[in-house]
């Protein structure tokens, strides 16, 4: 299955003449086709609970740009929602939690995670997988335990997650308990996604940048490592490649390699890592700054070529952005970018 997929070959650290391409947040508000569906739902999570709609949305960018991988249409906050924290997406505000975590009792009293409560996600995986051509792999995903904990404590998105960092300072043991619960939940959740058809897993540590190097290892990467180790030991998930995306973490490439991920997805500013030490250990994905897509074609080409040049000898390279496509980007620029990478 999927033996012709350039994406799976690159994840297996093979050198390829042309890198496979997919984009973080490739389905979303920048696409008019997405907006047409989105306007029918008030709450974003209600839309995620409709497997047929998720299937339609996941396929939109594949049909529009002929990308080399599809990603499940869902969100990382399905897990905190399943734990009873009451996640709502409010227009122009993003996610808001009805019952955020504010003390150690809240952590002790968290529901037991029931993976069946997210059945709507596995149905979406199954629908998307059945609708995709055989050679296009499907990426399943989850948030890292740390990133899920940060939203759950903060109760919303934030620039600096001040409340979360304050809570962490005075409640380290409780945060460890929360991270353990989220790690176990992520494992069961990803295992179900794989059973339903996901070929690859990506873990989003979108708030890795908040932590000092020491805390990053203790509160984030150790849990990502436990999660990946559990996946690599389970007969269902052991052969599934795992990609780790961490937003601008305060660490060297060695710490990212030590998470045991098969592929490192680079944030757009992560350009001075020592990629030599990563060769033949991990595949690399990334990392055009999405803001470049607001510039002229000439600038886009120049910046894209810099990246393609940097990784042209790298065994196992996947072209992607250094973070998600934002709503202000024109689909024409995505088309242009995809073409110039394929023609390079
Ligand atoms: O109103 C809308 O239309 C909602 C916009 C939207 C979309 C399209 C949200 C709200 N989530 C998603 C889908 C989504 N989210 C996908 C599947 C689509 C695709 O990639 O093609 C994925 C993989 C995610 C993952 C996700 N959700 C992350 C990790 C990636 C990243 O950007 O760092 C994060 C942090 C979230 C949380 C989230 N979901 C949505 C919002 C507004 C937020 C908060 C973002 C923030 O804190 O700034």
pLDDT of residue 1: 54
Joined tokens for residue 32: 């008019």
Q: Is the pLDDT of residue 176 over 90?
A: yes
Q: Nearest Cα to 2, choosing from 284, 140, 283, 198?
A: 198
Q: Nearest Cα to 128, choosing from 28, 188, 61?
A: 61
pLDDT above 70 covers a percentage of the chain that reads: 99
pLDDT of residue 298: 98
Residue 80 Cβ inside 6 Å of ligand 1? The answer reads: no
Which one of 28, 77, 190 would you pick to mutate in the ligand 1 pocket, going by the greatest count of ligand atoms within 8 A of its CB?
28
Q: Is the pLDDT of residue 297 over 70?
A: yes
Joined tokens for residue 178: 């929360």
Q: Is the pLDDT of residue 170 over 90?
A: yes
The set of residues, in sequence order, having a beta carbon less than 8 Å from that of 32 and lying 6+ positions away, is 331
Ligand 1 centroid, distance to 14 Cα (angstroms):
30
3-state secondary structure of 60: helix
Residue 157 Cβ inside 6 Å of ligand 1? The answer reads: yes
Q: In angstroms, rounded to a whole number, what is the distance separating the alpha carbons of residues 315 and 11?
A: 9
Active site residue 342: no
Joined tokens for residue 278: 């990563």
Q: Where along the chain do its domains lie?
A: 6-343
pLDDT digits (tens, 9 = 90+) for 195-207: 999 999 999 999 9
- The CATH number of 6-343 is 3.20.20.210
Q: Is the pLDDT of residue 333 over 60?
A: yes
Active site residue 302: no
pLDDT of residue 239: 98
């Amino acid at each position: 299955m999927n033996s012709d997929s350039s994406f799976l070959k690159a994840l297996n650290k093979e050198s390829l003449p042309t890198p496979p391409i997919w984009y973080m947040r490739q389905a979303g508000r920048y696409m008019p086709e997405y907006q047409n569906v989105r306007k029918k739902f008030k709450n974003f999570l209600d839309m995620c609970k409709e497997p047929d709609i998720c299937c339609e949305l996941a396929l939109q960018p594949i049909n529009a740009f002929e990308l080399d991988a599809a990603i499940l249409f869902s969100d990382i906050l399905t897990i905190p929602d399943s734990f009873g924290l009451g996640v709502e997406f409010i227009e122009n505000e993003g996610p808001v939690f009805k019952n955020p975590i504010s003390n150690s009792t809240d952590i002790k009293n968290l529901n037991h995670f029931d993976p069946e409560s997210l059945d709507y996600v596995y149905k979406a995986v199954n629908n998307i997988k059945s609708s995709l051509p055989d050679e296009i792999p499907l990426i399943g995903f989850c948030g890292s335990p740390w990133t899920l904990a940060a939203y759950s404590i903060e109760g919303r998105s934030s620039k600096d997650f001040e409340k979360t960092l304050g809570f962490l300072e005075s409640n380290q043991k409780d945060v460890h308990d929360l991270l353990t619960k989220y790690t176990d939940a992520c494992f069961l959740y990803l295992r179900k996604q794989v059973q339903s058809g996901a070929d690859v897993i990506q873990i989003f540590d979108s708030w890795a940048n908040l932590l000092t190097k020491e805390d990053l290892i203790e509160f984030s990467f150790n849990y990502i490592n436990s999660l990946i180790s559990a996946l690599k030991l389970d007969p269902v998930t052991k052969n599934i490649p795992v990609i780790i995306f961490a937003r601008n973490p305060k660490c060297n490439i060695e710490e990212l390699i030590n998470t045991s991920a098969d592929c490192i997805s680079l944030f757009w500013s992560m350009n001075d890592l020592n990629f030599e030490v990563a060769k033949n250990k991990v595949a690399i994905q990334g990392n055009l700054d999405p803001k470049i897509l607001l510039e002229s074609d000439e600038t886009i080409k120049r910046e894209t070529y810099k990246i393609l040049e940097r990784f042209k000898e790298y065994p196992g390279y996947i072209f992607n952005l250094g973070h998600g496509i934002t709503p202000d980007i024109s689909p024409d620029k995505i088309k242009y970018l995809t073409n110039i990478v394929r023609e390079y």
